[in-house]
Structure formats: C-alpha cells, structure tokens
Amino acid sequence: MKNFFRKVAFGLKPEEKVPSDPLTWAQKQVETIPELNWKGKHIYSEKEMRKHWIKQRVTEETVFRKKYKNDPDGLRRAEKQLENDSGMNFWPNNEISIRHAEAIRSESPVLAKLWYFWTNHFTISDTQTLPDFSTGAYQREFIRANMDKTFETMAYEGTIAWPMIMHLDNKDNIGPKSESGREEWRRREKEPATLNENHARELMELHTISPKGGYTQEDVQELAKIMTGWRPKYSKKLDQGSDVRFMSDRHEPGKKTVLGKTYKRGRKSLKIVIKDLVNHPSCREFIATKLCTYLITDKPTKEMITPIIKAWEKSDGHLPEVHKAAIKVAFEYNDKYKKFQNPENWWLQVINMSGLAYKYPVPERKMDNYMLGNLPSEELRESDWRLENIGYHPYRAKQPNGYSDISTDWMSTELIIRRLMYAKEAFHMYKTMDQLDLKNHENIIRSNFDDPDQILKIVSKAISNEEKHMILFNLPEVLKA
Amino acid sequence: MKINRRDFLKTTAATSLFFAGFGLPSFASQNKKNLVVIMLEGGMDGLCAVPIRGDKNFKKLRSEINLKKTLKLTSDFDLHPALENFKTLWDQNTASVFHATSIPYTGRSHFEGQDMMMSGGRVPYQENTGWLGRGMKLAGLKGNGLAMSLPMPLLIRGVPLNNNYFPINSSLPQKRLLNIIAEEFDQYSEKDLSETLSIIRNRDLNYFPGTNASTLALEAGKLLSDPNGPRVAVFKVDKFDTHAAQGGENGAHADCLKEYDQILKALKASLGSTFKDTLILTLTEFGRTVKQNGGKGTEHGYGTAVLMAGGLIKKSEVHGDWPGLKKKDLFEGRDLNSTMDARSIYASAMSTVFDLDFKRIQKDVFFGDKLENLSGKLFRA
C-alpha cells in the first residue's frame, strides 16, 4: 500500500504520519490549486519575465553588433556581463526551486506530480533562450494555474501564450493571401508571407488528438491558416517580446476546413477549433493513455483508460475530475504494476524520503539575496546543472514532444550511473548529525515500505551510511513505484 | 591475426548464421570493421549541405539563404563550406554523398520521422527496436554497440548489452557496492537493470574527458579502434530544425553541419589505421523545403542527402538519380524528391560492415521491403 505514496507523489518523509485513507488523501489534493509553497520574492508573471528576455535579445542582436563590430574580445566580455545583467544564469534555478518546493514542502505533492506531467505534455523545448527566462513562468501561469479548469482552457491558454507561440514558430506563420502578404515591401525586400505549419501540427499531434486522430497534411495546413496572425508584433525596441495578439492583417482570408468542419476567417476560429480538437474522442483517449503511462505502466490496458475517459466525458474535461479518476486507477493497480520513475521524479523522491527538505531546494533567503548583474554562486546554479546531468531538465527538452514516459528510455548505462552518483550527493546534503545518525535509514525504510525488514536486510550489507543511501535509492523498490 | 576468446565467440556466432545457407565470409583474413551512424535530428537540409550548381530556379527560391561561398565537389554539386573535413576526406577518396534520398516517410513530423529513421519501419511508433540493433543481432554482435548520448537511442535497441558513453565529472561508486545492487537486481529479475549494471561494473569509473562532440568522438574512435571494442557507435547532432534564420555560410544550419564535421575530424584522428575499416553515415528524418519561408528558414520537407565517409567508401562521388527542382519534379510541388529509399544505403552498409548477406538484412531487419543492394556501388567489400 505504501508504494502508492511514491506512485502518485514522492513517498513519505522519515517521520511523516501515514495517511489513513490514501485514496482520499491523494484525490483531495487535486480539487483546488493552492498558492505556491515558495515564499521567495522572485515570482514573476510570464510577461514580467519577458522583460529580461527582451533585454538579453535586443542588447545582443542590436546594440552589441554595432558597438563591438571590430572588437571580438570586447564582445565576448560584454556578452558574459549581459548574461548576468539579464539574469540568464539565475532565473532557471529560481524557477526550479519554485517547482520543486511543490513536491517536497507543499501539502499537495500529488498535484505537483501531475503538474510535472502537464508541463511535459505542453513542452517548451530548448530554443530561443526560452528556458532561461520564460519556461518556468509559462509552466506556473498557463499550466498549473489551469489545473482546476477544463482541459480546453489549458489547451487554449497554453497555445496562445507567448512562449508557446515563439517556441513553435507561429510568429512566422503568415497568410500568403493576407493583407500583409500582399504588401509591396514583401516583394521589394523579398520577404514573402508563408505558412509555418509547425505549431498547427504539434497542436494536433502532441497537444490534442495525436496521430490517431487521423488528420492529413491538408488538415495541418488548414489549421495553420486558422492560426495565421497569432503572434507578437516585432519592434526594434522589444524585438519579438511584445504580447501575442491576433494581427488580422497577417491572417489568411477565407474559410478553412479542418477534419471536415469549416471555420470562418478571423480571431474567434482558433478558440472554436481548439474546442473541437479537445472534444474529439482521440484527444481524451490520448491523454487518458498518457496519464496511465506516466503513473502506472508503459503499456496501459483498456480497463485502465476507460474510467478516465468516462470521467472526462461526464465532466466535460474538467481536470480535477480527470485527475481524480487517474489517481483512482493508479490506486487500484497499485500492487500489480510498478512504474519506473523518470530521473526528476526519482530525485525528488530521494530528497523527500531522506527528509532533506531543509536543504533542498535552495532556500528562499538565498535566492532572494541574489542581485542582477552578478554571477550567481555555484550553490545557486547547482539545480540547473544537476537536472541536465540527470537527463531530465523540465525546461530543456530537446524536442517539442518532451521527455519519454517509457521505462527503457531511462535505463542506459550513463543514466544509471547518474542515479548512483546523485544518491550519494543527496546523502552529503545531510547535516553532519544526520549523516552520523545510525537510525536514519531505518526510519526512512519503516516509513515507506510495507515490508521494511526485507529492505533493511539488504541495506545492512552496506559498510557506511553513505553506502546505505546509495543502495536504498537504487533498489528496484525505489526506482519503481 | 591473434584471435582472443571474445573474437572467437563473435566469429562463431556470425559463422553459425552463415552456415544456415548464406555463404561463409572470409573472416580470418579480415580486420574488425566498424559502423558509425551520426543522427542529424531536426531534418538536415541536403540542399544546404550539398547544393546543386547552376540551377537558376534553386537560386531564386533561396535568394536569402543561398551560399555565396562553397567548396566544389563535382561539376554538378557544391559542398557547404562548414564541411571542410568532409572535403579533405573527399579529396582522399574516403567520402561520398548519396543525394535525393530519404527514409520512406512523407508525414513531415519530427517525432514520427525520427522514430522511423531509427526503427526502419513504415509505420511510426510500431517498433521498439532499431534497424541497427536488429542488424547487429543478426550478425551476432552482442555487447558491441555504443551510443554517445545520455539516453539509449531506439536505433541500436534490439540487441542486448549496448553501452552508452556521456561521462560526468564525479567520483563513482566502488565495485563492491555495485555488486550488492547487482545482486538485488538479479533477485528481483530486473533483466534490463541487471544488464545495464553489468556494463557499468566493467567501466573505468575514474576517467573524465568531457562531453563536447569532438571529445566524445575521440573517445568513440579510441574504443572502436580496439580490436575487442565496440563495432558500432551512434552519435546525435540536433537542432537542424531551422524554421527561421537558417543562414547561409554562417547561421544555425551551418553550426550543425560544423558539429558533424568536427565529429568526422575527431574520428579520423582517433581511429588511426582503423579508419580504413570504418564507415561513417548520416541519418536524418527528412530534408527541407526547396523554397525558403518568410523567416529566412525552411520547412519540413522530404528528400535529402546522406553523407558517407570512412575507408570503406569506394570512391568520392555524388550518387543518386537527380530528380530536378522544377515545380513538377518536386514532391508535392515543394520538396526535393527522393529517388532512393535511404534504407537501401543502410542495409548495404550493414551488409558490408557486418559481412551479412543483403537479402537476409532486407528480410530480417527491414521487414522484406523492396530495397536495392548498393554495397558494390558505394562501398569496398
């Protein structure tokens, strides 16, 4: 039964009381979205964070190119300083702290684990320096904040948010027959207006109906036409950093047909087509399957998916209901299926079960003391590096499809080496007293396993507390949940 | 040639397959041969790497991302200036190009395309093994694969005990501790975990050379040149997906090509005399549209080029049946067409390097699909 706390959350702390009704305990956590646990002063909206992105971009591309035209060394120095002035090396760490505090310190670790699921579903991959400024804020403002609404709301807001429009190139998606497309300067400057299908394709393939929805290349193009004009307006001062809006002069005129349904020209069609996509049967099947893959097994069965689809249909895709259904399925299959945990969730499990909440994430006070313009200390930057090394950095996925949820993708020589190493690192995060405490591992094990004696026996083969930590957190019982 | 136990096992494994009616290769007289695959993720633009010469239409369609300076390959084709090491090999008859080719995928999605370029299948997400893994299995090459990346790519899955190498600068656990964990993996019948751990237990855990492309290639070359080392290595270069600001001689696509070129350079250096027994091929999910888009980039396309290098190359040549770039010649009116299923090149390469009968590869690795045996044309036997 105790496995369930690792399956839908991150295990229990060494002295934590075991909830008497685990299912209710878990389901209650997804009903509302509480305030973030993080109490630091640097919690900014996506729009506020964009100011720093703009500073980095405009200074680099406009100011520096002129100023250091003939001074490559000067340019290099100036670029380094700019990274500190814009906070490029600080913000991702600040955001990771906010993200991970939810798993380790909040009253709703189950909600946190599902939040991580959705941030991977709506991945902003590593491009255009978005991870350094905007991805964390996007994940708070458009994903987490919408987890008590319908999937339709999350999908629509997630789609037209500035980071997603930038990331999938919809800023370059311009109707060839639009007003702007017909302007004389385009011919003169040789900048023809063309469709950019990238975002439209991913909206169907990754975010809503998946290839099983049976769309064609033509559907992709038609959806791209509906999406023309949704972009930030370029200006010298802000580069692409102004708000995304619907620019009707960039919008392809005429009706468009996606999956057999016709949509009018104009602003409203995007909302309507997203509504249709999220209500397509392939969408709920796709997402129910993904949820089960994340929580339960690489190969979900129809019996697992069906109750989640039913909850979706009954509630019109109201996410708390969908989540509760998924949690219930995970509860029912708790003993039968164990899911290999991805590196980030594993790491948070190590910290949480170890009782290291006092040490990780880097506390508010330290983050708050950082001043823009300085090089952040190694301590402040560590979490960014660590996630990269561990193979799962939630802001730096290489592709828009994010990270895999399939176990074998996490079982390579190097990735297993990383887990051994980081279990050791976690041990050294303990205060000396805890490192020396001979009862520490027994407490962790008794809190988290139904059959602690068996685990204790294995761990007792270690010759030091450090080794106990490395063995315990690399046992199949901990790698899987 | 001194044959140690491991070589002997390998030979017998391969030989037993050949006894099944496929002719016996002359193993005794041969050196160990290596296959390196460099995956170019995001859609490598074959028309940018190896542009056609003197095609007015092409120049017009790409007026802002055209190359002003190029390296000359043949009377018909140029080479991107970032590929200078490739050019050096070309001049030594150890590099060639197959143009206007693609895997049989026309859907223009990265994820489906990358899945299929690795699986070698015709339907996305259907296979959980890669064509290279299946080829190695057919050749009895267990424990001979090496991926230079943090995760294990689908491409070499399908054969047990592959290794990956992407080191981290930190002290690693003692063997004794690994043995305790290994015991538990066995106890719980965690086969995948057990196998992975058995590789870790054989690794020098205190050596850290770094992880940039050149360093990884130097390490891979060292391991491949060891007669008992791996025979297959896989690299990944990403960010070829240049929807915007693709650039000409300089720019995002040029940077990616340069990274590939640096891998070539490092491999050439570290393989030493083994370079002559090695093939280095590129693999990508699709090419890019002929026409530039409004963002001075290109869209997902179809036909592209495969860059080939190594001592097993027959001679410097741009292979392929050029389909032309007039609108009517293009795939769906927008992309360079493919006149050769790229899997024919990969099947031929495996036939050459693994000494396997082509038909057998076609049947057991590529599902009996119609492929052309190009071994004699492209590679030295």
pTM, entire model: 0.84
Provide the residue type at A382 as one letter. Answer: E
The residue with greater pLDDT, B2 or B120, is B120
According to DSSP, the β-strands at B71-72 and B34-40 are unpaired
Residues B161 and B46 in one domain: yes
Determine which of B184, B195, B284, B291 to mutate to test the interface with A (most A C-beta atoms within 10 Å): B184
Residues B196 and B225 in one domain: no
**Residue B334 included in any domain:** yes
Residues B196 and B149 in one domain: no
Residues B175 and B41 in one domain: no
> For position B4, what pLDDT does the model report?
41
Q: Indicate the residue among B180, B207, B234 that finishes a domain.
A: B207
State the residue range of the domain holding B312.
Answer: 30-169+210-378
Instruction: Please provide the distance, in angstroms rounded to a whole number, between the alpha carbons at the two ends of chain A.
Output: 11
**Residue B3 included in any domain:** no
Q: Indicate the residue among B159, B190, B207 that finishes a domain.
A: B207
Residues B73 and B118 in one domain: yes
- Confidence tier at B203 by pLDDT (50, 70, 90): confident
State how far residue A459 is from chain B, nearest Cα, in angstroms. 9
**Residue B10 included in any domain:** no
How much is the mean pLDDT over chain A?
95
Asked if B192's CB is within 8 angstroms of A412's CB, the reply is: no
Overall number of domains in chain B = 2
For residue B18, pLDDT beyond 60:
no
**Residue B5 included in any domain:** no
Asked if A391's CB is within 8 angstroms of B295's CB, the reply is: no
Q: Which residues contact A73 (CB under 8 A, 6 or more apart)?
A: none
Stretches where chain A sits below pLDDT 70 are none
Closest-CA residue in chain B for A480? B190
| Cβ–Cβ under 8 Å, residues B132 and B234 | yes
Residues B274 and B190 in one domain: no
Chain A with chain B: Cβ pairs closer than 8 A: 136
**Residue B109 included in any domain:** yes
- Tokens 């043995």 appear where? B179
For residue B19, pLDDT beyond 70:
no
For residue B7, pLDDT beyond 70:
no
**Residue B21 included in any domain:** no
Q: With beta carbons under 8 A apart, name residues in chain B contacting A445.
A: none
Residues B189 and B108 in one domain: no
Residues B201 and B255 in one domain: no
Residues B175 and B315 in one domain: no
- In this predicted structure, which of A69-73, A464-468, B213-217, B227-231 has the lowest mean pLDDT? A69-73
| Cβ–Cβ under 8 Å, residues B256 and B239 | yes
**Residue B255 included in any domain:** yes
Closest-CA residue in chain B for A388? B150
Residues B369 and B248 in one domain: yes
Helices (H) and strands (E) in chain B, counts: 13, 11
Q: With beta carbons under 8 A apart, name residues in chain A contacting B181.
A: 420, 470-471, 474-475
Does A412 contact B at CB distance below 8 Å? yes
Instruction: Please provide the distance, in angstroms rounded to a whole number, between the alpha carbons at the two ends of chain B.
Output: 19
Q: Indicate the residue among B207, B230, B254 that finishes a domain.
A: B207
Closest-CA residue in chain B for A189? B64
The angle that helices A319-332 and A151-160 make with each other, rounded to 10 degrees, is 120
> For position A456, what pLDDT does the model report?
96
> pLDDT tens-digit profile of B317-347?
999 999 999 999 999 999 999 999 999 999 9
| Cβ–Cβ under 8 Å, residues A340 and A407 | yes
Residue from the list B114, B151, B332 with its beta carbon closest to the beta carbon of A409:
B151
Global ipTM: 0.86
**Residue B43 included in any domain:** yes
> pLDDT tens-digit profile of B246-270?
888 888 899 999 999 999 999 999 9
Residues B125 and B158 in one domain: yes
- In this predicted structure, which of A278-282, B87-91, B201-205, B355-359 has the lowest mean pLDDT? B201-205
Residues B249 and B338 in one domain: yes
